[in-house]
Amino acid sequence: MTIVKTISEIRALRQKLKGSVGFVPTMGFLHEGHLALVKRAKAENSAVIVSIYVNPAQFGPREDFGAYPRDLDRDLELLRKEGTDIVFVPSDDEMYPHEFSSWVDVEKVAERLEGASRPGHFRGVATIVAKLFNIVQPTRAYFGQKDAQQVVVIKRMVADLSMNPEVVIVPTVRENDGLAMSSRNVYLSPRERQAATILFKALTLARQLRRDGEKDAEKIRRKMTALIRKEPLAQIDYVSIADAGTLEELDLIDRPAVASLAVRIGKTRLIDNMPLE
């Protein structure tokens, strides 16, 4: 496994690679969810490149950029075990050089849900992913369904800007009790960790209601909200039943839809989602 820090180094290595390249962009502090992306990339490509970069541009001024968990040595060990070929670990100066002033702004779909709660977040995500795609030139890029809106935003950007990579979505990996794996789960105290299962419970309720034939999105949102409110440590940011393609809120569920939510458990903001067949 080769570890590189500069754009010129990774470009030189990339040029030598024959066949397809699978790319997994990450912010590190890897868990089974990330490793599922790496495994899938490994199975489908001749070579796998992973990036580890905590992107300051996608954190708001009052968010957890400084506290975001980091453990590069452990990450590199895990990636080595998965047979990763190249790991790109750039610095801030490498990614955002002095006087950096070009941004990728995806409209509409990036303005809802996470975009409304975290202004500027998707501008940061789209810009760094566009830069990484330009640098790595992957055949396929792998993202988790856990960040459902990020996936929709990136697919929109790739289509709108005629980018090359095929975007592959990998199902959410969950703990035994349903909590979606996330680097931020490490912030939870034991009591909060227990309370955090309310997200999965609410999503499971939405799916069950839909399976039982419920088509009224507002009724499902109300029942999810009532369930979450029973958990004293949980504070709802949003509960959404939206069109799976555009993420526009639905009244009537007459097309593929996704239930998604953002809930604060203590000081930790967690998101999760579940497609409603």
Characterize 232-267 residue by residue with b for buried, 16 or more Cβ atoms within 10 angstroms of its Cβ, and e for exposed: ebbebbbbbbbbbeebebbeebeeebbbbbbbebee
Torsion of CA 65, 60, 275, 221, to 10 degrees: 130
- SS3 assignment, position 171: coil
Report the site for ligand PAF in 174-233 (rule: CB under 6 A). none
With contacts defined by CB under 6 A, how many residues of the chain interact with ligand PAF?
10
SS3 content of the chain, % helix, strand, coil (to 5): 40, 20, 35
Between CA 59 and CA 43 the distance in angstroms is: 32
In the shown chain, the binding pattern of residues 18 to 37 toward ligand PAF, with x for contact by CB under 6 A and - for none, equals -------xxx----------
Complex with ligand PAF: residue 179 or 250, whichever CB lies closer: 179
Complex with ligand PAF: residue 133 or 200, whichever CB lies closer: 133
- Cα→Cα distances 129→71, 220, 268, Å: 22, 34, 25
Complex with ligand PAF: residue 142 or 200, whichever CB lies closer: 142
In angstroms, give the least distance from the CB of 75 to ligand PAF.
12
Residue with tokens 């810009």: 127
Report the site for ligand PAF in 118-157 (rule: CB under 6 A). 125, 128-129, 147, 150
Active site residues: 34
Complex with ligand PAF: residue 104 or 220, whichever CB lies closer: 104
In angstroms, give the least distance from the CB of 250 to ligand PAF.
25
In angstroms, give the least distance from the CB of 242 to ligand PAF.
20
Complex with ligand PAF: residue 56 or 266, whichever CB lies closer: 56
One of 45, 55, 84, 139 touching ligand PAF (CB under 6 A): 55
Report yes or no: 165 and 138 within 8 Å, Cβ to Cβ.
yes
In the shown chain, the binding pattern of residues 237 to 276 toward ligand PAF, with x for contact by CB under 6 A and - for none, equals ----------------------------------------
Between CA 8 and CA 4 the distance in angstroms is: 9
In angstroms, give the least distance from the CB of 238 to ligand PAF.
19
Structure tokens at 24: 């997994």
* Residues at the site binding ligand PAF, with contacts judged by CB under 6 A: 25-27, 55, 58, 125, 128-129, 147, 150
